[in-house]
Structures are given as C-alpha cells and as structure tokens.
Amino acid sequence: MASTEERIRQLARENLDLDHEIDFDASLPEADVSSVDAVAFAKLVSQEFEVEISSTKFAECPTLRALAEYLDSKAG
C-alpha cells in the first residue's frame, strides 16, 4: 500500500493544475495553488482518506508534509 505522502502526491498530480511537481515542504500558496483549488483539494483528501478535515484544521497544516503527518496521526 502506498504511503500517505505518496497518495497525497498522486492526488495533487491528478487534481491540481500545476506545471511542476508540488513541493511537500512549501505552503499551497507558495506552490501556486489557488485558494479555490486548495479548498477543493482539502475535500478530496478528506474523501480519499475517509477523515473529516475541517477548513480550520486544513489551514493549520502549513504544508502537504504536515497534512500527511496529521492524516497518519488519525489512522487507525
């Protein structure tokens, strides 16, 4: 099974309209992800990992690496 980070990276490749590989240590705005796309991506990640992620919690994760760590902490 793919790691959380690998799954998030794949979701980003498939769903974020970027012309570059996303940096897991950059904030979404630094990675050129619009706020609208970030909200949609948060919903997608919530569905994919079957974890409720509030917009507040998503905003508290400054990078995708922090998001992956949060999701890992919620894993059963």
Provide, rounded to the nearest whole percent, the portion of the chain with pLDDT above 70: 97
User: Sorting pLDDT into bands at 50, 70 and 90, what band is 1?
Assistant: low
Mean pLDDT of 35-60: 91
The letter for the amino acid at 72 is D
Q: Does the structure show a pLDDT above 80 at 2?
A: no
More confident residue, 55 or 76: 55
Mean pLDDT calculated for residue range 42-56: 92
pLDDT in tens, 30-44: 989 998 999 999 999
Residue among 6, 3, 7 nearest 44 (CA)? 7
Among 30, 64, 68, smallest CA distance to 49 is for: 68
What per-residue string of b and e applies to 59-72 under the rule 16 or more CB within 10 Å gives b? eebebbbebbebbe
Q: Please state, in angstroms and rounded to a whole number, the distance separating the CA atoms of residues 4 and 20.
A: 20
